[in-house]
Structure 1
Amino acid sequence: MEHNNPVSRKLNRKGFLSTTAVIAAGTLIPKVFSCGSNKQSGKSPRITGFIPDSKYAGVQIGAITYSFRSLKGGLETTLNACAEAGISSVELMGTDVEDYLGAPKNPVKRQPNAQNPLTSEEKNTIEKYKSEVKEWRKSRGTPDLYAQLRKKFNDRGVNIHIYKWLAGTSETEIDYSFKVAKALGAIGITAEINDDNARLLGPVAERNGMYAILHNHYQYAEPDFDVDKLLAYSPANMLNFDIGHYFGSTGLNPTEFIRNYHDRIASIHLKDKTSVGNVIQKNTNQVWGQGETPIAEVLHLIRDQKWPIYCDIELEYPVTPWSSSVKEVKTCREYCRQILL
């Protein structure tokens, strides 16, 4: 078919940039509120805002909130950025979530090193902080509190499909992590793909009726890397397959991997990179449409096969001073929309 032609794998950036502003409103659904008095009087419902809808031809295009890391202002700012960029589903980075929900804050901010290790006083302070956080999670930071946060996102038209956060590495802490992730509406927790995470997270995810979703960087380029072994630890082990890191480090077309493992892939990270074989810049992030990663081929495959795989924008290329992460994520979303429709 036409979309398998290598020439059609990339979109001309100028072509879709010129239409982004015009059709951006087309990716938003009016949010209508009508009160009883309006209904009784026959008045038209009042449009008070818009909710994003970034599902195209059956493929849910989302974003990892890491894409908005340059923004200041915490979780509220991140939520606003998602809505403004027209993103209706996210992989939520949990770095600031406990702070936002009112958990105790670690008073020791610095990172120790060999030349400047932690003092005894700092160690005692950290131990006290850990104890306070543990108590907060039991008494206040319960799944009910996370369910309220979920509602806040959902009210803006943004769903949380994956949570990227762990409370710790003990079985109790991992179990707690999956419980709050479920309260957020997520299908699972994502963590780096390695033996420890596959072995520890999978069984706990399974008990909670969720997934342990393992994310790759350059592991697939390692000669002794065995993804089948990691998946075999638990049927709840799934993949968060980063096509940019895979292509950039191996030079292999990610569509073949997706065909072989589609039933174990929960989500895909989308980015555009050069290949490891590029003679000018190897394995380098690029503005979408200027790299070599077959984004269009991947999206067409998922669309045509109707596989229920989340496809998340991960903004990693440098943002110019005259733009912003919100504008760039919006542009990447439009890039996906034009590929899929």
Structure 2
Amino acid sequence: MKKRREFLKTSLLGAAGLAVAPAWLHGAPNIIKSYNQNGSIINGVKIGCITYSFRQMKDQSAEAILGYINQAGISAVELMGDPAEEFVGKIPIGFNRMDLFMLMGKERNETITDDEKKDLEEMRAKIDSYNKEVATWREQADISKFEELRKMYEASGVEIYAFKPSTFGKLNTDGEIAYGMKAAKALGASHVTLEHPSDDQHTMKLGKMAEEIGISVAYHGHEQETFTFWDTALEQSPANALNLDVGHYIAAGNTDLMPLIEKQHSRIKSIHVKDRKNPENGKDNVIWGQGNTPIAEILNTMKANQYDFPATIELEYKIPSGSNPILEVQKCLDFCANALNA
């Protein structure tokens, strides 16, 4: 705890700390303007951020991520699993998961080299062994330790409204699933998020377990999202819900996003916001305002109808030269403010 307290004192840059802030923070008036105010509720619309947005930052500890959140001016987050679990005692995996995802992408695209294939095979072998060890740890973990993390975030003005650990898959034990849901409650989250498993039996199981524990399960999708994508899960349990990704929905070629939001608003727990182009324009993930996702319309619909689910910034476009994830999240927050104050 002593190291954590010392880290927070130095990384969460008080007013005097700006004099020794990193070079990129100097000359960044938008960040300094909103720095440490933690006010990302704009005209009644909660603007949050998934901590995945900071994945390119070197330090991925829960303490460091809190620093990034504060510096970006965000006051509510969807927290990824690894930083939270490692905070409470989970052994780190021992390699950068982004390297794994990169190699898996090359494998899918058939651009992987022989040496990279060997690296990928080694990582997968390590993951199999690691997952068994972690499953045992999770089933025995002290859930109350997540409350310590919640209190640290709350003390800095940050609400954790969603939690996304890798505990809800078909290969996870029932003990791991229950652990993930209970950890989310201890963090103060209203819901957990996960990729839709495309398995009706599994969404039924998750929904029923969530009902017993008293939390919601919000399913995320990519380009497989359609108007009826969530219908079965929603019918199975009142605990099942949507974590709608509006950018992926547009990139999939759908043209009924606004009717979907209007129909399902009471079952949406959070939305992921990014700007993607539609298929006719190449589907690219772009700087906000350059794509076909109607972000401003979505936000103003939320404001007009007083929808209380958060709009979650998910930074996925290529970061421009000379910038970094914190600056880009701040730009996305500024985009939301401009849209909601127009």
Superposition TM-score tier, normalisation by shorter sequence: 0.7 to 0.9
**1:77 equivalenced with 2:64 (yes/no):** yes
Counterpart in the other structure of 1:301: 301
Counterpart in the other structure of 1:13: none
2:233 alignment partner, one of 230, 239, 242: 230
Counterpart in the other structure of 2:177: 174
> How far apart are residue 99 of structure 1 and its match?
2.5
**1:200 equivalenced with 2:186 (yes/no):** no
Counterparts of 1:28-43 in structure 2, within 5 Å, are none
> How far apart are residue 323 of structure 1 and its match?
0.5
> How far apart are residue 319 of structure 1 and its match?
0.3
Give the SS at the match of 2:322. Answer: coil
* Distance in 1 between residues matched to 2:216 and 2:180, nearest whole Å: 12
> How far apart are residue 299 of structure 1 and its match?
0.5
Counterpart in the other structure of 2:312: 312
Deviations 1:42-80 (A, max 9, x none): xxxxxxxx3411001111001111111100112222111
Of 101-110 and 202-211, more deviation after overlay is shown by: 101-110
Q: Which runs of 4+ in 1 moved over 6 A?
A: 107-115
> Is the contact between residue 47 and residue 310 of structure 2 (CA under 8 Å) also seen in structure 1?
yes
Counterpart in the other structure of 2:3: none
Alpha-carbon distance change, 219 to 138 in structure 1, aligned in 2, over 3 angstroms: closer
> Is the contact between residue 31 and residue 71 of structure 2 (CA under 8 Å) also seen in structure 1?
no
Query: Is the helix fraction higher in 1 or 2?
Result: 2
> Is the contact between residue 106 and residue 126 of structure 1 (CA under 8 Å) also seen in structure 2?
no
Counterpart in the other structure of 1:142: 142
**1:102 equivalenced with 2:89 (yes/no):** yes
Counterpart in the other structure of 1:328: 328
> How far apart are residue 137 of structure 1 and its match?
3.5
Give the SS at the match of 2:146. Answer: helix
> Is the contact between residue 31 and residue 327 of structure 2 (CA under 8 Å) also seen in structure 1?
no
Query: Is the strand fraction higher in 1 or 2?
Result: 1
> How far apart are residue 198 of structure 1 and its match?
2.0
1:89 alignment partner, one of 65, 76, 81: 76
> Is the contact between residue 274 and residue 285 of structure 2 (CA under 8 Å) also seen in structure 1?
yes
Give the SS at the match of 1:250. Answer: coil
> Is the contact between residue 198 and residue 214 of structure 1 (CA under 8 Å) also seen in structure 2?
no
* Distance in 1 between residues matched to 2:72 and 2:318, nearest whole Å: 17
* Distance in 1 between residues matched to 2:251 and 2:94, nearest whole Å: 39
> How far apart are residue 273 of structure 1 and its match?
1.2
Alpha-carbon distance change, 299 to 200 in structure 1, aligned in 2, over 3 angstroms: same
Counterpart in the other structure of 1:157: 157
Gaps (5+ residues) in structure 2? 1-26, 108-113
Deviations 1:97-131 (A, max 9, x none): 32333223456999799986979xx78x965x556
> Is the contact between residue 62 and residue 312 of structure 1 (CA under 8 Å) also seen in structure 2?
yes
Give the SS at the match of 2:49. Answer: strand
* Distance in 1 between residues matched to 2:333 and 2:38, nearest whole Å: 11
Q: Which of the pair has more CA radius of gyration?
A: 1
Counterpart in the other structure of 2:51: 65
**1:217 equivalenced with 2:217 (yes/no):** no
Deviations 1:174-217 (A, max 9, x none): 11110011001111110112333522311111111110000010
- The TM-score, its normalising length taken from structure 2, stands at 0.77
* Distance in 2 between residues matched to 1:258 and 1:108, nearest whole Å: 39
Give the SS at the match of 1:61. Answer: strand
Alpha-carbon distance change, 132 to 216 in structure 1, aligned in 2, over 3 angstroms: closer
> Is the contact between residue 190 and residue 215 of structure 1 (CA under 8 Å) also seen in structure 2?
yes
* Distance in 1 between residues matched to 2:136 and 2:293, nearest whole Å: 46
Counterpart in the other structure of 1:189: 192
Give the SS at the match of 1:315. Answer: coil
Looking at both structures, which has the greater relative contact order when contacts are Cα pairs under 8 Å and sequence separation is at least 6?
Answer: 1
Of 106-115 and 90-99, more deviation after overlay is shown by: 106-115
Give the SS at the match of 2:77. Answer: strand
Alpha-carbon distance change, 327 to 130 in structure 1, aligned in 2, over 3 angstroms: closer
> Is the contact between residue 251 and residue 276 of structure 1 (CA under 8 Å) also seen in structure 2?
no
CA RMSD of the aligned region, Å? 2.9
